Structure 1
Amino acid sequence: MGWLLVLLAAVSEIIGVVGLRFYSQKKTLRNLFIYVGGFGLSFALLYASFNYLQLSIAYVVWIGIGTVGAVLVNIIFFGESKNRTRLISIVAIIIGVAGLKAIS
């Protein structure tokens, strides 16, 4: 249950990042709701996951998935650059998060 909550929290964080991008471009109530709602739900789900998982592991996995997800969404849907250094950094984050999970 804890890992499902962390995964849902990370997806909500990515939604919040998309909302932040939309809100920074056009300040509408809809975009504000996506932005604040995404991050708010993300924090609530992450907090709930602490009942099942160690805080340090849940937080790192949440940050890792959220960061990689946000970068990939921005590359795929918003045309941000996908240079070699950026892709290597994404792989390094994934390896780091997987390594922390594996030793916990």
Structure 2
Amino acid sequence: MSWIFLLLAGLLEMSGVVMINRYHQHRNWQSLLLLAAGFGGSFLFLALAMKTLPMGTAYAIWTGIGASGGAILGILLYREPKDWKRLVFISIVLVSAIGLKLVG
């Protein structure tokens, strides 16, 4: 169950990052509420996952999901650059997170 919590934490981290961008575009209370909900939920599920997972592993995977997911969402939603080098390094982050799961 901890790995599911960690995955949810990472996905909510990604939504929080997207909401930062939305808040910069539309400074209203709905955007601010969604931003707070995304990051609040992310921290909640990270804390639940860390009840049984080692802190270093949980944090590394959480940040990996958030960073690579945020970069992928930037490419898909905001037309950020998607050259092959950028995609290679995003893949390295994801493979590293999967590696930590396999050895942990």
Matches within 5 A, 1:61-76: 61-76=61-76
Q: Does 1:92 align with 2:92?
A: yes
Give the equivalent residue in structure 2 for 1:56: 56
Matches within 5 A, 1:1-104: 1-104=1-104
Q: Which runs of 4+ in 1 moved over 6 A?
A: none
Alignment partners' CA distance in 1, 2:14 and 2:96: 19
Per the TM alignment, residue 46 of structure 1 is displaced from its structure 2 partner at its CA by: 0.2
Structure 1 letter corresponding to 2:24: S
Distance in 1 between residues matched to 2:58 and 2:83, nearest whole Å:
29
Unaligned runs of 5+ in 1: none
For normalisation by structure 1, the TM-score amounts to 0.93
AA aligned to 2:46 is L
Unaligned runs of 5+ in 2: none
TM score, norm. by length of structure 2: 0.93
Give the whole-Å Cα distance in 2 for the aligned partners of 1:46 and 1:67.
Answer: 15
Task: Report the secondary structure of 2:27's partner residue.
Answer: coil
Of 1-10 and 83-92, deviating more is 83-92
1:26 Cα shift?
1.7
CA RMSD across the alignment: 1.1
Question: How big is the shift at 1:85?
Answer: 1.7
Q: Deviations over 1:17-49 (max 9, x none)?
A: 111000012211111011111001101110111
- Aligned length in residues: 104
**Aligned counterparts of 2:101 and 2:11: Cα–Cα separation in 1:** 19
